[in-house]
Amino acid sequence: MRTTPFLLLGSAIATPAAAGTVTVTIPRLNVAEYHRPYVAVWLEPEGGGPARTIAVWYDIKKGGNEPGTKWLSDLRAWWRKGGRSLKMPADGVSGATRAPGRYTIPLPRDLRPGNYILNVEAARETGGRELVSLPVAVPNGSGKASGRTELGPVSFSR
């Protein structure tokens, strides 16, 4: 696998006490109709237990009869694991959808050290859905994985 250069210094300095940083890449896709994907990032304790949502990107501005929350359940794994019990918008967790590119997300400072499964799920209107999971050790571990269609490289580092 290609080594991904990490450009995390800015984020690491801004939040020195973060329990680690997740990097998520949204690939640029050559499709006729493109909409930015809904993305959820969450951690599950390795031995099972309640999931903790780190980030959710959805169409937070769309209101009316069909508000942006209508398609949150398209992130079906996240929805079942914990999304359905979150009230949206969620402080420090939810945000607008992102354009293709690479994004860094600091893990919450109060995250307890331990082994987790990091999950990143993306679902795109008129497009596909993909889930990338990798085991991570908080706070000192590192790891990387990659999606094939809706997600690019996903990594975790201190």
Decide if residue 15 touches other proteins (CB under 8 A): no
Decide if residue 47 touches other proteins (CB under 8 A): no
Touching other proteins, residues 105-144 (CB under 8 A): none
The candidate with the shortest Cα–Cα distance to 82, out of 114, 108, 121, 113, is 121
Decide if residue 65 touches other proteins (CB under 8 A): yes
Decide if residue 79 touches other proteins (CB under 8 A): yes
- Closer to other proteins by Cβ: residue 130 or 139: 130
Which of 18, 39, 72, 107 contacts other proteins by CB under 8 A?
Answer: 72
Decide if residue 149 touches other proteins (CB under 8 A): no
- Closer to other proteins by Cβ: residue 107 or 122: 122
DSSP state of 74: G
Pairing of strands 38-45, 114-123: antiparallel
- Distance (Å, whole) CA 150 – CA 158: 25
Minimum CB separation of residue 115 from other proteins in Å reads 21
**Helix, coil or strand: residue 144:** strand
Q: Is the dihedral of CA 136, 117, 75, 50 positive or negative?
A: negative
* Dihedrals phi, psi of 38, to nearest 5 degrees: -80, 135
Neighbours of 12 (CB within 10 A): 16
Which of 8, 60, 77, 134 contacts other proteins by CB under 8 A?
Answer: 77
Distance of CA 144 to the CA centre of its chain: 13
Minimum CB separation of residue 88 from other proteins in Å reads 9
Contact residues for other proteins, defined by CB under 8 A: 65-73, 76-77, 79-80, 83-85
